[in-house]
Amino acid sequence: MSFSCPHFRPNDDWCLRLKTDCVPGRRGCVLAGKTTFAVPAEQRVREREEEKRRQAIARLWGSPGAGS
């Protein structure tokens, strides 16, 4: 089954409804409580936040591979 969310902005994986990163099933998401995910939304939110922190630190320190 596939799902296309009208709130999803694909160029940066942004949720226009929640004004934060799209993590399907997260609190406030149209899918929350209606779908079962292999990895719980709360865990994916934590992982996304941790990855953003790592990228921010890498940018701060000018680490290679940290993006632009």
DSSP label at residue 9: E
Query: Hey, which residues between 23 and 42 contact ligand SF4 (CB under 6 A)?
Result: 23-24, 26, 29-31
Among 1, 7, 36, 52, binds ligand SF4 (CB under 6 A): 7
DSSP 2-28: ----TTEETTTTEETTTTEE--TTSTT
Q: Is 45 in the site for ligand SF4 (CB under 6 A)?
A: no
Q: Is 66 in the site for ligand SF4 (CB under 6 A)?
A: no
For 29, how many CA atoms within 13 A lie in the half-sphere containing its CB? 21
Site of interaction with ligand SF4 (CB under 6 A): 5, 7-8, 15, 17-18, 22-24, 26, 29-31
